[in-house]
């Protein structure tokens, strides 16, 4: 409990830290005749904002070119950008264009005229530009370009850029509003629920003598979810304070989240097959195998895991592993700075595949639950019916949010899908843990845990560990 209080204090301190600078982008680019322009980043603003920074040649020396400029496109015009053939055409499409030159800012037409003649540029140039989009909550895309490279053969040195995007008064991007606060609140609640869960775990361990496998898996999922949420909260705080987060924290958060969801998916599927609810041997082979997951990886006399003898169970396991790989790849690629076409984390080919897999998981879950209901008693049928509803909500919450996202404002999609998914799934995990750890719960009364830790459950069935048709793990 002392550890939980210290963690809660740390979380509260994290929430109190202020934000000072917005998104910071820095790097180096090389423009030439084949590639006269490079995408830098996207940024969303509410009402108005500012872009400021500096461009510096790699060697710091002056150079000659027609005119380096920053093109700014809105979300509606961005898809057209990729279809236009030349740098000049794309420059005319830009919502805003300003030249980085000795003479300062010029209008778009003058910047285009400059591409037909070379002039001397300083090795370093600082700029600041106010952004005033036509509507509130605008997503902007920024490109650095030198269209003269298409008109006149010449070379420009590598350019180092250091650019800060400000949303109104130095706030984070509009599509990330409330994310930091949401994660901080969620971490605090998870720590508080974790303290209560620790007491339930100790109580169950004392009463049963040892923790069932299902409790261990859910505790593992809870820990992964807590760590992933904490890492993302810290990443967002650093991002808010400095304009640039920590890639390693974000990656660890994404990996933890993917593992957490996979563990819960497996537990739900095993429960749907009858794990801890029945030892009936009827049904499809993979369902019978999943009714006792603890034996799936035991080494047989042949030297191979027992699961290899059940091809259909092996296919399900590979499907689950493939899910975590796709989940991790989708979230990793959708958070890169060059992922400029995405409105939210799953707005990609990998994201769409992931959503189809979620729906497929839901279909498999409903099918196996319906099959299991045919071989259990009436009270267990009622419990499995509620499990079907809860499981369907678990699997479908993210796909439904993604499918309905086009009806939301583009700047709100990432925020709504992220907050909705992590909040609802974390709530579902907390409720599941309470269901499986509390002796007074309906599941506890109907499952094999009701017989564990008693004279009957430990030895009364001849050491088989089963009683009344209920399977133990």
In terms of DSSP bridges, do strands 37-45 and 49-57 run parallel, antiparallel, or are they unpaired?
unpaired
Q: Helix 247-273 vs helix 311-333: angle between axes, to the nearest 10 degrees?
A: 150
* pLDDT at res. 91: 86
pTM confidence score: 0.72
Burial state string for 157-171 with b = 16 or more CB within 10 A and e = fewer than 16? bebbbebbbbbeeeb
Beta bridge partners of 116: none
pLDDT at 366: 92
Residue-level pLDDT at 464: 38
> Which whole-number Å values give the CA distances from 370 to 274, 287, 435, 454, in the listed order?
10, 12, 21, 31
pLDDT at 470: 43
User: Radius of gyration over alpha carbons of the chain, in Å?
Assistant: 28
Q: How far apart are CA 141 and CA 88, in angstroms?
A: 17
Instruction: Give how far the C-alpha of residue 217 lies from the chain's centroid of Cα atoms, to the nearest Å.
Output: 21
Closest among 177, 143, 147 to 41, alpha carbons compared: 143
Torsion of CA 349, 351, 354, 360, to 10 degrees: -80
* Nearest of 152, 127, 130, 149 to residue 30 by alpha carbon: 149
The two structure tokens encoding residue 178 = 């409330």
Which pLDDT belongs to residue 347? 64
Say which DSSP state 339 is in.
Answer: -
Q: What is the DSSP pairing of strand 159-167 with strand 49-57?
A: antiparallel
Nearest CA among 31, 25, 55 for reference residue 43: 25
Instruction: Walk me through the domains of the chain, giving residue ranges and CATH numbers.
Output: 23-167 (2.60.120.380), 174-460 (1.20.1070)
Q: Contact at 8 Å (CB) between 294 and 282?
A: no
pLDDT at position 333 is 63
Q: Closest Cα to residue 20, out of 169, 122, 121, 137?
A: 169
Dihedrals phi, psi of 136, to nearest 5 degrees: -75, 145
- Indicate the helix (H) or strand (E) that contains 93: helix 87-93
User: Which tokens in the block code for residue 32?
Assistant: 């030439």
Distance of CA 280 to the CA centre of its chain: 39
**DSSP sequence for 191-228:** HHHHHHHHHHHHHHHHHHSS--HHHHHHHHHHHHHHHH
Q: What are phi and psi of 130, to 5 degrees?
A: -80, 140
CA 320 vs. chain centroid, Å, equals 18
Which of helix, strand or coil describes residue 72?
A: strand
Could you give the CA distance from residue 275 to residue 471 in angstroms, rounded to a whole number? 7
b/e burial code for range 116-128 (CB count within 10 A of at least 16 → b)? eebeebbeebebe
Distance from the Cα of residue 349 to its chain's centroid: 15
Please give the full DSSP string across 99-161, using - where no structure is assigned: EESTT----HHHHHHGGGS-EEE-SEEEEEEEE--SSSSEEEEEEEE-THHHHS------EEE
One digit per residue, the tens of pLDDT, for the chain of length 473 reads 444 444 444 444 344 433 334 477 888 999 998 889 999 888 888 777 888 888 888 888 888 888 788 888 888 888 899 899 988 888 888 888 777 764 555 555 666 666 677 888 888 888 888 887 777 677 888 999 988 888 888 889 999 998 888 877 655 777 777 788 889 999 999 999 888 888 888 887 887 777 788 888 888 999 999 999 999 889 888 877 776 677 788 888 888 888 888 888 888 888 888 888 877 676 677 777 777 777 776 776 666 666 666 666 667 777 777 777 777 676 666 544 444 445 455 667 777 888 888 898 899 899 989 988 888 888 888 888 888 888 888 888 888 888 887 787 777 777 788 888 888 888 888 888 887 777 776 777 777 665 554 433 333 333 333 334 444 45
Residue 311: what pLDDT?
A: 67
Residue 240 has phi, psi (to 5 degrees) of -65, -40
| The pair of three-digit structure tokens given for residue 291, joined into one six-digit string | 């009714």
């Amino acid at each position: 409990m002392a550890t939980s209080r210290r963690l809660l204090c740390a979380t509260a301190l994290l929430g109190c830290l202020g934000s000072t600078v917005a998104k910071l982008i820095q790097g180096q680019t090389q423009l030439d005749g084949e590639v006269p322009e490079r995408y830098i980043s996207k940024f969303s603003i509410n009402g108005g904002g500012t872009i400021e920074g500096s461009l510096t040649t790699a060697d710091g020396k002056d150079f000659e070119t027609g005119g380096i400029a920053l093109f700014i496109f809105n979300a509606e015009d961005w898809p057209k950008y990729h279809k236009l053939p030349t740098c000049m055409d794309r420059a005319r499409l830009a919502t805003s264009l300003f030249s980085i030159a000795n003479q300062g800012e010029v209008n778009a037409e003058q910047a285009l005229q400059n591409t037909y003649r070379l002039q001397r540029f300083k090795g370093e140039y600082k700029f600041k530009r106010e952004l005033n989009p036509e509507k509130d909550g605008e997503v902007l895309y920024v490109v650095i370009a030198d269209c003269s490279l298409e008109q006149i053969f010449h070379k420009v040195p590598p350019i180092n850029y250091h650019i800060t995007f400000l949303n109104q008064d130095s706030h984070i991007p509009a599509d990330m509003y409330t994310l930091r606060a949401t994660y901080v609140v969620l971490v605090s609640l998870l720590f508080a629920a974790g303290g209560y869960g620790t007491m339930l775990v100790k109580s169950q361990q004392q009463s049963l003598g040892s923790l069932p496998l299902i409790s261990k898996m859910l505790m593992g999922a809870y820990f992964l979810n807590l760590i992933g949420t904490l890492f993302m909260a810290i990443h967002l705080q650093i991002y808010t304070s400095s304009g640039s987060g920590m890639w390693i924290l974000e990656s660890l958060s994404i990996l933890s989240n993917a593992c957490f969801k996979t563990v819960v998916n497996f537990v739900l599927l095993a429960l749907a097959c009858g794990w801890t609810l029945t030892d009936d041997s009827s049904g499809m082979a993979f369902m019978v195998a999943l009714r006792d997951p603890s034996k799936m990886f035991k080494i047989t006399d042949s030297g191979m895991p027992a699961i290899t003898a059940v091809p259909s169970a092996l296919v399900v396991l590979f499907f689950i592993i493939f899910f975590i790989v796709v989940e991790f790849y989708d979230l990793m690629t959708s958070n890169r700075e060059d992922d400029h076409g995405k409105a939210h984390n799953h707005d990609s080919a990998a994201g769409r595949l992931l959503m189809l897999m979620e729906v497929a998981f839901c279909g498999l879950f409903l099918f196996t639950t319906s099959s299991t209901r045919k071989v259990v008693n009436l009270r267990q049928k009622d419990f499995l019916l509620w499990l079907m509803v809860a499981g369907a909500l678990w699997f479908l919450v993210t796909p439904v949010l993604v499918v309905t996202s086009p009806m939301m404002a583009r700047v709100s999609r990432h925020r709504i899908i992220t907050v909705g998914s992590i909040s609802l799934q974390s709530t579902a995990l907390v409720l599941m843990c309470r269901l499986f750890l509390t002796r007074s719960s309906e599941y506890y009364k109907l499952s094999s845990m009701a017989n564990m830790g008693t004279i009957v459950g430990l030895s009364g069935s001849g050491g088989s560990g089963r009683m009344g048709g209920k399977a133990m793990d």
